[in-house]
Every structure is written in structure tokens, then in C-alpha cells.
Structure 1
Amino acid sequence: MNTTSESPANASMNNTPSRDILVWDLPVRLFHWLMVLCFAGTYLTAESERWRLVHVTLGYTMAGLVVFRLLWGIVGTRYARFSNFVRGPAAIARYARSMLRGKPEHYTGHNPAGAVAIVALLVLALFVTASGWGTYNEIAGDWVEEMHEAAANIMLLIVAIHIAGVVIGSWLHKENLVRAMVSGRKTGSREGGIRSAWRTVAALMLVAVLGFWWLQWQGAPPGGLIGPQARAESSAHDDD
């Protein structure tokens, strides 16, 4: 997500001793864990009418988070920028070969394989949210709901692959990548670290998410239902 990631070739040219450096800013880390929460919550509540409001609220939150991440991928810190970690097919294939040899190339930020998963998840998250909105507003028929469910299942599959990649990468690189996404810190050269965690941006991001949840809950209809079913039940109640 920053300018240049450290590869074996770069490391061999750099005689600076490795140290604990800040790689992931706080907005990136907060985005990551909020996305984990939102996707898990939406998937687990997908079949429940009782939890429909939670399902839709988390789905819309996920879309808002993706929009933020797309913007932060342009103006954010070094390792947050797409220009730092999105690479072409040649780099992806080279990294895959190094993984198969058991000696993967090292990148301070996201590696090329991880970048593929990240981009795929961002695109799928937007598609899942859009198709979900169409489903709950009964737009274009049942095929939209089928696409919504299919996209969510594909997204779950990519999440599983991503988790497997994190586990394998942590083992091969001998570094805890999950802990790095919590603390924001990894091992690298002093020059490779970012200067600021951007806590203010993360705080504003969290306030926006919590504020949206509060507004959703304040406007919730009785029973927690939303959309066409809520209108139908409200109409039936009025008729009674």
C-alpha cells in the first residue's frame, strides 16, 4: 500500500538492519476488521427474517467501507495505495512459483497473490450489496436474488482462500500476518515504515459507521423487518 514493497532483490541491495516498522495505518486495519464483522454478520443472518434489519444494515455498511477503501487506495499511505500492490500477471505468476518452491518473495506490503484476493473481494462486496438492494426492493425478479446468493457464496470461497494464504504466508515468511493487521507492524528496513497511523481518519470512519447503525436502528419498523415484507405486515396491521 505504499510506494515500493520490499522484494528479495531489494532486500539484498539494502544493508540496513531489519526492525519493527509501521506498515498498516489505522484506517486500513479498521477497514479490514469491520469488513470481517460485516461480511460474517450478513452471511449468518441471510436466511433470518427476524434479523433482516441487521443483515441489511451490515450490508450497506460493507458497501460504504468499500467506497472508503477505494478512495484510501488512491490518497492513503504508502502500503494502502493500489499502485503499491496491484501488479500484472507476470508478477503474480512469479510470486506463485516462488510459493511453490517454498521460498516466496518477500513484500513489506501486500504480495501479488494477496492483491488479487483483495481486489476480487472489493468488487464482489459492491456486487453483493447492489444485488441485495435489488432483492429487498423486489426489483427485476427472482434472478437478482439468485445472483445475490451466488456472489455471496463466491465471496465466502475467496475469503477462505485468502485465510489459507495468510496462514501459509505466515508460516513460510515466519511472520504473524494476522498480528500485523492488528498492530500494523511488520519487520522491515527503517526507511520502509510509514510515518503516521492516521488515527484521526480512523476515528472519523468509526464515528460514521456507528452513526449509521444508530440511524438505522432509530428508523427501524416494529419487529425489525424492512423492505416489502415490512410494508406488507404494516398494511395488514392497519387493516386489522
Structure 2
Amino acid sequence: MRLRRKPWARPELAACHFFISDPPKYKGRWQELFNNNNPIHLELGCGKGVFISEMGAANQHINYIAVDIKSEVLALAKRKIVKKYDEAGITSVNNIKLMSHNIELIDNMLDSTDDIERIYINFCNPWPKRAHNKKRLTHSKQLVKYKTFLKDGGEIWFKTDNDELFQHSIKYFEENGFIIKYITEDLHASGFEGSIPTEHEIMFTEQGIPTKFLIALLNK
């Protein structure tokens, strides 16, 4: 569904202290920006912020970089984050940096010195047409880029409702030197703990569609 244009979105983001307007400016300097030595996790395609708001509020000892492309959706994520932190009694959002950036060009804003510990890819576009497969966020074309800034022993947590994308992604990970550390075709029936549901995950679960989930470990 196409999100309607929101005239207030860009001004509100510009006034937000945890919104980063020029992500490439901090390439190689994200730890410096957070001003601590806590591990950094990255969400690719944060959407309306359901997942990242929960993660950030529950894990103040972890820094989060949340990326999406549309200002309209990021503005909704900003509001969701602020609301969640207020509910949790956290006075300021210091461990999340929100930004608009083309994920296909993620290597423009991160490099090997950024040492990302974990990447979350939640319900990305499956790009089912063969001609478009290279646009998948789990495609080898993208994994090569992630490997430059994902630390040795770092993980990619991947969720999807799409069977074909899931099976193809397993192959992409294995072909690029990742070890499948955990895998299930029905996350909610698996007993796995520590995974916060996303907006799409909640919707698909209500429709009876199981969430496929894996953890891919980078062994450099």
C-alpha cells in the first residue's frame, strides 16, 4: 500500500535530535556519534518503527541504526520511538539513530571500521520476478556489502513470510560464507526466545501465515 505524502514529515524529522540527515557523513564514525563503546545493531527497512522502538527501549546498552527510504514512514517511526521511550520512562532517545538512505547503497554510509555486530532484515520486498532478484536485501550482491562492515562472528537475523525468498536466501548466505546458526519455518511455534515481532509479523500471524526465520553467522 502506498503511503500518502505527509507535509509535516520532513520538518518533524529535521527537528528530531536522533534523526541523521546525512548518513554518509558518519561513515567510519558511528561509534563516535553514539559517544560510547556499546555494540551497534543495524535494521535495514525499519518501516513504522514497531520493531526498533521495542528493541531500543528494551536494550539501552545497545546502539541501533535504523534505515528506511521514505520520510513519511520514518516520521511515523520517530513518533513510535518517542512514545515507546516515554512509556518506558526513558527521558531521551540516545541509543537510536534514524535515517533515510537507499539500502542498495548501504556501503556509502558504513565501512569496515564501523564493526556492526548484528543486522536485522525483517519482511523485505521479495522481488519475485527473476529479473529483479538482485534487488533483494539478502541477495549475494548485498551480502558482499554487508560483509565489509559486519564484524567477524556478527549475525544477520532474517524474517520473511515468503517461502521462495526464504529458500533462495539460505543459498545466498551459504554461498557467501555465512553459517546458518538457527533456522525455522515457523518462528512462533519454534520456542525461540528473544525475537520482537514486527508490524508485518503481527499482521501475517493474525492471517495464519507463519514467519520464516534464520540467523546467519559471518565467519571471516
- TM > 0.5 between the two? no
TM-score, normalised via structure 1 length: 0.22
Comparing both structures, which one devotes a greater share of its residues to helix? 1
Considering fraction of residues, name the structure with more strand: 2
